[in-house]
C-alpha cells in the first residue's frame, strides 16, 4: 500500500472516530448548558487517547458546536455562544480543554472568544487553580483534573462579562 493510501485510510479513521464520539455525546445528551456557554466532558469514551491531541479535540468541539447551533436554530431557540469540551488525560491527571464558537453567532459575530477568556481566567490568578495555557494555541488549556469544576465556573463568569 503506498503512502497516500495509508494516509487516506488514517484520515477516514480519524473522522469516523470524531463523528462516532460526537454522535454518542448527542445521543446521551451529555452537552450541558452553563450560564455563558455549553460544555461536555470526556472521561472514558473509546479512543480517549485520541483526544489528548488538541487538533482532534478541537475538531470534535467544532463539529459539536455546529450541530448544537443548527439544532437551536431549528427549534427557534437562542443559539448558545460557544462550547467547551474537556478530555481527561489520565496519565497526567489533567483535562485538555478546548473552547470553540459556532462559525456564525447571533448578530453575525464570527470568531473564537475562548482564547481571550482563557487568558483572562489565567490572569485572575484564582488561588490554587492549576491550569496551563499554550501560548501558541490560545483556545486550548490544560487544567488539573481536580480543578475542572472550578475552572468552568470561573470561565463562565469571565466569558459572560465580555
What's the whole-model pTM score? 0.83
Domain that holds residue 39: 3-161
Q: Among all chains, which residue has been given the C-alpha cell 480543554?
A: 97
Residue 120, classified by CB atoms within 10 Å of its CB into exposed (0-12), middle (13-18) or buried (19+), is: middle
Total domains in the fold of the chain: 1
Whole-number pLDDT of residue 17: 93
pLDDT digits (tens, 9 = 90+) for 95-142: 999 999 877 544 444 556 787 787 777 766 555 666 666 655 667 889
Q: What is the percentage of the chain residues whose pLDDT exceeds 70?
A: 78
pLDDT of residue 108: 46
Q: 3-state SS of the chain?
A: CCHHHHHHHHHHHHHHHHHHHHHHHHHCCCCEECCCCEEEEECCCCCHHHHHCHHHHHHHHHHHHHHHHHHHHHCCCCCCCCEEEEEEEHHHCEEEEEEECCCCCHHHCCCCCHHHHHHHHHHHCCCCCCEEECCCCCCEEEEEHHHHHHHHHHHHHHHHHC
Residues 10-36 have a mean pLDDT of 92
Q: What does the pLDDT look like over 44-73, one tens digit per residue?
A: 888 999 999 999 999 999 999 998 888 877
**Residue 125's CATH number:** 3.10.310.40
Amino acid at each position: 500500500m503506498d503512502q497516500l493510501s495509508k494516509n487516506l485510510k488514517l484520515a477516514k479513521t480519524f473522522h469516523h472516530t470524531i463523528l462516532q464520539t460526537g454522535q454518542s455525546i448527542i445521543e446521551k445528551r451529555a452537552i450541558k448548558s452553563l450560564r455563558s456557554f455549553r460544555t461536555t466532558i470526556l472521561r472514558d469514551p473509546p479512543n480517549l487517547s485520541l483526544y489528548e491531541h488538541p487538533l482532534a479535540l478541537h475538531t470534535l468541539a467544532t463539529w459539536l458546536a455546529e450541530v448544537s447551533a443548527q439544532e437551536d436554530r431549528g427549534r427557534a431557540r437562542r443559539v448558545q455562544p460557544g462550547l467547551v469540551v474537556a478530555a481527561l488525560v489520565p496519565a497526567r491527571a489533567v483535562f485538555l480543554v478546548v473552547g470553540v464558537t459556532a462559525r456564525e453567532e447571533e448578530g453575525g459575530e464570527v470568531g473564537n472568544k475562548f482564547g481571550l477568556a482563557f487568558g483572562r481566567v489565567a490572569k485572575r490568578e484564582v488561588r490554587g487553580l492549576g491550569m496551563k495555557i499554550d501560548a501558541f494555541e490560545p483556545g486550548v488549556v490544560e487544567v488539573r483534573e481536580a480543578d475542572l469544576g472550578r475552572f468552568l465556573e470561573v470561565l463562565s463568569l469571565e466569558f459572560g462579562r465580555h
